[in-house]
């Protein structure tokens, strides 16, 4: 039998959770065509994987690379962490649809990357995307926040019946164009203004098309149980398959809720509800600075938000509400990761408490002034979780691995700022720290959470497993060497120990180095 590529002498862990086997792999074009204990050399290119694990390419089920892959097709930080497929469009924000204020906001934010959105609908986006190049595969969700903003902008109200019809039309257009489902971000505007009933109505459309619903739930701290129950209720009413994003217990006063949320999810599974979750292997979240503000401050969009922060009386009212939610110690764990303007770059890597001290201002005044100064575009780290709960969550069978991050690179514009280290090291950190060092997970179980399980949940045809007839997306790594190098203070460092990454049958990473191949594909739901 003729092959275009052979992988020999490796330990194949196939993504099903089963123990590894010593198998050779024969690949023809983009497909695995033979798994056998011995495939003789036939003169074609061969990867010798002795002492290494040969796994399916990792599927990042929770990614935010919706736009930046257009800047950096090589997708460096992702593929050098073993990722061969990203699921983009999470937390209610996606590449499509884009109209009105949503288009204006996105255009402003993407200008520094040289990206000018040349599309409004999902169909137009896919047409542009399929002309682009990428080193990895991408599937897309449509964001409920995008849809809502396109139809009723950033208003804090229920959609009128005719507006809901338009929202459903946008959703159907996205699903018909190839989206795999819908995401929501119920902590961010405008998703935070949506009722349970609105989300349920939208999810009935998703279910009709066989898609799935992923959600950044309404609260991950004090009201965690209620928010999780709401997401499950949406799934129960609509029949849609549910994915809960970055499951956590945020804030030390909520850490004790870990068993409660496990019970809630297991009870739902016992009732036959298809609910799974994802999590990144770090105890710090990354989000926007204005997430600390009350929801009503966002209404009307960024301009209105800034006006409210500038108005002295309104500002006092905002400060009073924020102070009731967070005490002064909270600002010790809130670190600025990225700002837009050079004059404030010195703040990156510093906590709000440190910056407030340097400026001789109270923390809230520091926050409000910075949001005004940066047109509300400030990224933060929030150190609000504990290691013990993280380890327990990673161990649960219904939890997959997802980075909750966009791709980055060590050169060019994507090397700016201090992104969360999960942009570079999510998957290698699980395999290095939580499998090899802490022995929280077996390597077989970890790989299943990175490959077979998420691929099945999303509905990726013939991906996520090493199996004859499946696409040849393969990651090969040293189990004793794999490690994440990225840190919060020095984030732009690639992982080590991943020796080869093959995407659709083409070697893209060889001996730990990216060779420039761009054989990734835009995946559409069929």
Indicate if 266 and 357 belong to the same structural domain.
no
pLDDT at 228 over 90: yes
φ/ψ of residue 111, rounded to 5 = -60, -40
Indicate if 278 and 313 belong to the same structural domain.
no
Query: What are the CA-CA distances from residue 75 to residues 127, 138, 495 (Å)?
Result: 20, 11, 14
Indicate if 336 and 443 belong to the same structural domain.
no
Identify whether 420 is part of a domain: yes
Query: Which pLDDT belongs to residue 42?
Result: 84
Tens digits of per-residue pLDDT, 350-409?
999 999 999 999 999 999 999 999 999 999 999 999 999 999 999 999 999 999 999 999
Indicate if 395 and 369 belong to the same structural domain.
no
Indicate if 247 and 302 belong to the same structural domain.
no
Q: Which residue among 341, 367, 382 closes a domain?
A: 382
Indicate if 375 and 402 belong to the same structural domain.
no
Identify whether 198 is part of a domain: yes
pLDDT at 146 over 90: yes
Q: Which helix (H) or strand (E) holds 176?
A: helix 161-177
Indicate if 143 and 243 belong to the same structural domain.
yes
Three-state secondary structure call for residue 62: coil
Per-residue confidence at 526, pLDDT binned at 50, 70, 90? confident
> b or e along 154-173 (b: 16 or more beta carbons within 10 Å of the residue's beta carbon)?
bbeeebeeeebeebbebbbb
The closest alpha carbon to 118, from 70, 75, 150, belongs to 70
pLDDT > 70 fraction of the chain, expressed in percent and rounded? 100
Identify whether 503 is part of a domain: no
pLDDT at 1 over 80: no
Identify whether 469 is part of a domain: no
Query: Which pLDDT belongs to residue 417?
Result: 86
Contacts of 293 (CB under 8 A, 6+ apart): 305, 318, 322
CATH code, domain with 70: 3.20.20.140
* Residue span of the structural domain in which 102 resides: 57-286+384-458
pLDDT at 292 over 90: yes
Indicate if 354 and 398 belong to the same structural domain.
no
Q: In what order do the strands lie in the sheet with 399-401?
A: 142-143, 181-185, 212-216, 241-244, 275-279, 399-401
Which tokens is 110 given? Answer: 């993407």
Tens digits of per-residue pLDDT, 251-269?
999 999 999 999 999 999 9
Pairing of strands 83-88, 137-140: parallel
Identify whether 465 is part of a domain: no
Separation of alpha carbons 362 and 353, rounded Å:
8
Q: Which residue among 430, 458, 486 closes a domain?
A: 458
Indicate if 389 and 369 belong to the same structural domain.
no
Domains contained in the chain, number: 2
Tens digits of per-residue pLDDT, 294-346?
999 999 888 999 999 999 999 999 999 999 988 888 999 999 998 989 999 99
Identify whether 18 is part of a domain: no
Indicate if 270 and 309 belong to the same structural domain.
no
Indicate if 66 and 170 belong to the same structural domain.
yes
Separation of alpha carbons 352 and 251, rounded Å:
17
pLDDT > 90 fraction of the chain, expressed in percent and rounded? 94
Query: Which pLDDT belongs to residue 459?
Result: 98
Query: Which pLDDT belongs to residue 143?
Result: 98
Which tokens is 518 given? Answer: 């761009």
pTM, two decimal places = 0.95
Query: What mean pLDDT comes out for the span 213-222?
Result: 97
Which tokens is 511 given? Answer: 């001996």
Tens digits of per-residue pLDDT, 14-57?
999 999 999 999 999 999 999 999 999 888 999 999 999 999 99
Identify whether 407 is part of a domain: yes
Mapping DSSP onto H, E and C, the string for 290-337 reads HHHCCHHHHCCCHHHHHHHHHCHHHHHHHHHHHHHHCCHHHHHHEEEE
Query: Which pLDDT belongs to residue 340?
Result: 87
pLDDT at 455 over 80: yes
Query: Which pLDDT belongs to residue 37?
Result: 97
Query: Which pLDDT belongs to residue 119?
Result: 97
Indicate if 332 and 410 belong to the same structural domain.
no
Identify whether 29 is part of a domain: no
Query: Which pLDDT belongs to residue 327?
Result: 83
Query: Which pLDDT belongs to residue 116?
Result: 94
Q: Average pLDDT, whole number, for the chain?
A: 96
Query: What mean pLDDT comes out for the span 59-76?
Result: 97
Q: Which residue among 367, 382, 397 closes a domain?
A: 382
């Amino acid at each position: 039998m003729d092959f275009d590529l052979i992988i020999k002498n490796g330990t194949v862990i196939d993504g099903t959770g089963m123990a590894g086997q010593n198998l050779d792999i024969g690949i023809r074009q983009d497909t695995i065509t033979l798994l056998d204990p011995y495939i003789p050399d036939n003169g074609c290119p061969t990867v010798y994987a002795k002492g290494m694990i040969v796994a399916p390419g990792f599927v990042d089920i929770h990614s935010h690379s919706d736009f930046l892959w257009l800047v950096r097709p090589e997708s460096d930080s992702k593929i050098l962490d073993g990722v061969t497929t990203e699921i983009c469009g999470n937390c209610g924000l996606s590449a499509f649809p884009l109209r009105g204020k949503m288009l204006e906001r996105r255009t402003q934010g993407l200008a520094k990357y040289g990206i000018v959105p040349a599309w409004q609908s999902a169909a137009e986006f896919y047409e542009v995307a399929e002309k682009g190049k990428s080193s990895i595969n991408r599937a897309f969700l449509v964001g409920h926040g995008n849809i809502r903003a396109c139809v009723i902008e950033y208003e804090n109200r229920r959609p009128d019946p005719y507006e809901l019809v338009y929202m459903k039309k946008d959703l159907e257009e996205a699903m018909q164009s190839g989206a795999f489902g819908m995401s929501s971000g119920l902590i961010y505007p405008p998703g935070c203004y949506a009722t349970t009933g609105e989300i349920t109505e939208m999810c009935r459309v998703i279910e009709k098309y066989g898609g799935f619903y992923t959600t950044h739930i309404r609260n991950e701290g004090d009201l965690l149980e209620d928010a999780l129950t709401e997401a499950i209720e949406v799934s129960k009413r609509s029949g849609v398959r549910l994915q809960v994003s970055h499951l956590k217990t945020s804030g030390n006063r909520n850490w004790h809720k870990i068993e409660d949320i496990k019970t809630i999810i297991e009870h739902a599974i016992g009732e036959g509800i298809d609910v799974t979750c994802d999590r990144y292997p770090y105890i710090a979240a990354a989000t926007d600075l204005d997430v600390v503000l009350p929801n009503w401050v966002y209404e009307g969009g960024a301009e209105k938000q800034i006006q409210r922060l500038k108005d002295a009386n309104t500002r006092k009212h905002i400060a009073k509400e924020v102070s009731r939610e967070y005490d002064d110690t909270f600002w010790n764990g809130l670190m600025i990761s990225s700002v837009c303007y050079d004059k404030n770059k010195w703040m990156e890597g510093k906590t709000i408490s440190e910056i407030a001290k340097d400026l001789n201002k109270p923390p809230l005044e520091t926050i409000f002034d910075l949001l005004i100064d940066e047109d509300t575009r400030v990224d933060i780290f929030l150190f609000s979780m504990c290691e013990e709960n993280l380890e327990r969550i990673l161990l649960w069978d219904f939890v997959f691995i997802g980075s909750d991050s966009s791709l980055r690179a060590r050169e060019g514009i994507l090397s700016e700022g201090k992104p969360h280290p999960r942009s570079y090291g999510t998957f290698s950190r699980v395999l290095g720290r939580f499998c090899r060092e802490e022995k929280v997970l077996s390597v077989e179980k970890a790989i299943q959470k990175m490959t077979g399980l998420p691929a099945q949940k999303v509905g990726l045809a013939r991906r996520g497993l090493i199996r004859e007839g499946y696409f040849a997306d393969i990651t090969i790594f040293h189990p004793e060497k794999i490690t994440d190098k990225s840190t919060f203070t020095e984030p732009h460092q690639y992982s080590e120990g991943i020796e080869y990454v093959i995407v659709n049958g083409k070697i893209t990473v060889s001996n730990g180095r990216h060779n420039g191949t761009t054989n990734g594909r835009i995946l559409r739901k069929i």
